[in-house]
Chain A
Amino acid sequence: MLQPHRPPAPSVFGSLVLIAVVIGASAAAFAYTAGWFSPQRLTPDKMVDAFTPTAGAPLGHRKNHAKGICFTGIFEANGTGSALSQAQVFTRGQYPALGRFNLATANPNAPDATVRVRGMGLQISTPDGQEWRAAMIDAPFFAVSTPQVFYDLLLASASKDPNAMKTLVGAHPEIAAFGAWAKSAPWTGSYAEDRFNSLDSFIFVDNSGAEHAVRWSLLPTAPPVSVSPDDLAKRGPDFLEQEITERVRGGPQRWTMVVTVANPGDPTADPSKAWPEDRRTVEVGTLTVQQIEAEPDGPCRDINFDPTVLPTGIRTSDDPFPAARSAAYAKSYDRRTAEAQDYPRTTTEAKP
């Protein structure tokens, strides 16, 4: 029809084979990329599954840090942070904050005194439309140095093999260091007396484009009072939530945000390694918690405190955890929102 003389046609069979090979290879490449041929790949699903208690996780809750209570307040920047980061959140001024005090457990009904690690999720919004989300804990350093070892730790903790933990701790001494902290560090009777640390390192980018490797902490202005775990156990399963609710009703609670700047050579890729005490610190502002709201109807319930939601002027460093946390938190969010019908949003009026 179009060309006067066609080249001789290849055999139909040969053509069909060629088509099958092209399609088959494309499908295989896609499946490979999706990890279907890589059972060893550490996927967000595997990470979140590893948190699931053997008894079955209650539906609709966060898959870790499942117990928590919402707060709202303001972050008041004093302006000094602008020397380190161009993010608007460090420009002198007040910015709305939303957050969640929480316990590092997969059980939303765990008694408060049984959970060693406490955390704070935080979101600060600025008028330029940007958000800074963070998820911090009260430990001064993390238990492991890579996401893979974290996964191995979760598996070892759930393992029935008595040697599983021993073997892992032998290979990763930082786990023992964390264990020593967990055993010896004082407990407080209030979220308001706890210090919350980013642990992960991030990069602040200032107005000149210069980069600063940093970690940050929220230091309580309320003086910490040490209480023995035995005494805490007598206070009832939800004493932390009741205490912070009462306390904030009596007056706003404050934390000072302190940014610690790394020296050249400090380990930024490993949150299990604390930086030396003498590193430069900069007080950049104050978080004021003004109101506490129960999680079911609170504004924090549907927020994923993904630590990679960062404004311009803050970015991730070579620390591999924020990426792993972002991937796993998103998976947790996808699952719990899909289970939302099992987590009634409206609490019953008749509360004890």
Chain B
Amino acid sequence: MNGIRTRFTVLQRMLHWLMAVCILAMLFIGVGMVSTVMPKYLTLVSIHKPLGIAILVLALIRLVVRLIYGAPPLPVGLPEPMKLAAHLSHYAFYVLMIGMPLLGWGMLSAAAYPVVLFGGVHLPAILPQSDSLHTLLWNAHFYLAFAFFALILLHVAAALFHALIRRDGVFQAMASVSTDDGVAPAE
């Protein structure tokens, strides 16, 4: 590749927005289901599990795509602390996108619950039954969900800051609906 990309690839943008919808739905379903005993509890749980696995699969695909195509460079004039925050937040997103479904799956396994996806499709247990593991994973899954949502809020705030105040092309790198990858000719 002999040019610098100004946008994420079309595939990366599609994965980003698809996963944005899935993850937001997942977090709202999660906090909603654990706060009710009404029949919607079962409906929400039955969406939460397969959607979590879907996010895990998408996140792994996305990680591979990211390793292949990378990311467009941040603007030269961006202050170093903001660059650092951008990089760290991306690491945190990948850790959470892959880690949260694994924590949920592990937590169900450690509680000896069957992990049911659609219909009769079951996933195997990835951990043996264990009270202490269940508690550890349950706590991690619960508190990291709030951390995940807080990270998303920060991410949205930063994206809007780039779009509305800095207007430096960072927002367009992911939000553009253009079907080309925005490869500028190399200088």
State yes or no: do A and B come from one complex: yes
Q: Which A positions have Cβ atoms within 8 angstroms of B?
A: 1-2, 6, 9-10, 12, 15-16, 18-19, 22-23, 26-27, 29-30, 33-35, 41-44, 47, 128-131, 147, 302-304, 306, 308-309, 311-312, 316, 318, 320, 322-324, 326-328, 333-334, 337-338, 340
Assess whether B87 is interfacial by the CB under 8 Å rule: no
Q: Which of B28, B111, B156 contacts A304 (CB 8 A)?
A: B111
How many Å lie between the Cα of A318 and that of B40 in the bound state? 11
Chain B residues within 8 Å of A320, by CB: 38-39
Asked if B41 and A131 sit within 8 Å, CB to CB, the answer is no
Instruction: Map CB proximity to A onto B135-164 as digits: 1 under 8 Å, 0 otherwise.
Output: 100100000000001000100110011001
Sample of 5 A–B contacts (CB below 8 Å): A9-B167, A19-B157, A34-B35, A316-B42, A338-B135
How many Å lie between the Cα of A304 and that of B35 in the bound state? 19
Assess whether B50 is interfacial by the CB under 8 Å rule: no
Chain A residues within 8 Å of B36, by CB: 35, 41-44, 327
With A35-B35, A43-B36 known as contacts, the answer to whether A304 contacts B120 (CB < 8 A) is no
Smallest Cβ-Cβ distance to B119: which chain A residue: A312
Chain B residues within 8 Å of A340, by CB: 131-132, 135
Smallest Cβ-Cβ distance to B133: which chain A residue: A337
How many Å lie between the Cα of A238 and that of B39 in the bound state? 37
The 8 closest A-B pairs by CB, nearest first: A340-B131, A35-B35, A34-B31, A15-B164, A324-B37, A312-B120, A337-B131, A327-B37
Assess whether B68 is interfacial by the CB under 8 Å rule: no
Smallest Cβ-Cβ distance to A46: which chain B residue: B37
Q: Which B positions have Cβ atoms within 8 angstroms of A?
A: 6, 27-28, 31-42, 45, 75, 111-114, 119-120, 122, 129, 131-132, 134-135, 138, 149, 153, 156-157, 160-161, 164-165, 167-169
Chain B residues within 8 Å of A35, by CB: 31-32, 35-36
Q: Which of B41, B122, B160, B165 contacts A12 (CB 8 A)?
A: B165
Asked if A147 and B131 sit within 8 Å, CB to CB, the answer is no
Instruction: Tell me the minimal C-beta distance from A87 to chain B in angstroms.
Output: 10
Chain A residues within 8 Å of B153, by CB: 23, 26-27
Instruction: Tell me the minimal C-beta distance from A85 to chain B in angstroms.
Output: 13
Chain A residues within 8 Å of B33, by CB: 327
Chain B residues within 8 Å of A19, by CB: 157, 160-161, 164
Instruction: Tell me the minimal C-beta distance from B180 to chain A in angstroms.
Output: 14
Chain A residues within 8 Å of B122, by CB: 129-130
Asked if A41 and B120 sit within 8 Å, CB to CB, the answer is no
Asked if A309 and B164 sit within 8 Å, CB to CB, the answer is no
Q: Which of B42, B138, B157, B169 contacts A323 (CB 8 A)?
A: B42
Smallest Cβ-Cβ distance to B34: which chain A residue: A44
Q: Which of B37, B38, B167 contacts A6 (CB 8 A)?
A: B167
Asked if A34 and B131 sit within 8 Å, CB to CB, the answer is no
With A312-B119, A340-B132 known as contacts, the answer to whether A22 contacts B6 (CB < 8 A) is no
Chain A residues within 8 Å of B169, by CB: 1-2
Chain A residues within 8 Å of B119, by CB: 312
Asked if A26 and B164 sit within 8 Å, CB to CB, the answer is no
With A33-B32, A44-B37 known as contacts, the answer to whether A302 contacts B129 (CB < 8 A) is yes
How many Å lie between the Cα of A44 and that of B45 in the bound state? 14
Instruction: Tell me the minimal C-beta distance from B129 to chain A in angstroms.
Output: 6
Chain A residues within 8 Å of B149, by CB: 30
Smallest Cβ-Cβ distance to B27: which chain A residue: A30
With A30-B31, A130-B120, A340-B132 known as contacts, the answer to whether A47 contacts B37 (CB < 8 A) is yes
Smallest Cβ-Cβ distance to A333: which chain B residue: B111
How many Å lie between the Cα of A30 and that of B28 in the bound state? 6
How many Å lie between the Cα of A30 and that of B111 in the bound state? 27
Smallest Cβ-Cβ distance to A15: which chain B residue: B164
How many Å lie between the Cα of A318 and that of B39 in the bound state? 8
How many Å lie between the Cα of A156 and that of B135 in the bound state? 32
Q: Which of B34, B114, B161 contacts A309 (CB 8 A)?
A: B114
How many Å lie between the Cα of A16 and that of B161 in the bound state? 8
Chain A residues within 8 Å of B113, by CB: 304, 306, 309
Chain A residues within 8 Å of B37, by CB: 42-44, 47, 147, 323-324, 327-328
Chain A residues within 8 Å of B134, by CB: 334, 337
Q: Which of B35, B160, B161 contacts A41 (CB 8 A)?
A: B35
Instruction: Tell me the minimal C-beta distance from B103 to chain A in angstroms.
Output: 14
How many Å lie between the Cα of A34 and that of B35 in the bound state? 6
Smallest Cβ-Cβ distance to A301: which chain B residue: B131
How many Å lie between the Cα of A338 and that of B138 in the bound state? 9
Chain A residues within 8 Å of B164, by CB: 10, 15, 18-19
How many Å lie between the Cα of A323 and that of B40 in the bound state? 8
Q: Which of A6, A312, A323 contacts B39 (CB 8 A)?
A: A323
Instruction: Tell me the minimal C-beta distance from B108 to chain A in angstroms.
Output: 10
Asked if A22 and B156 sit within 8 Å, CB to CB, the answer is yes
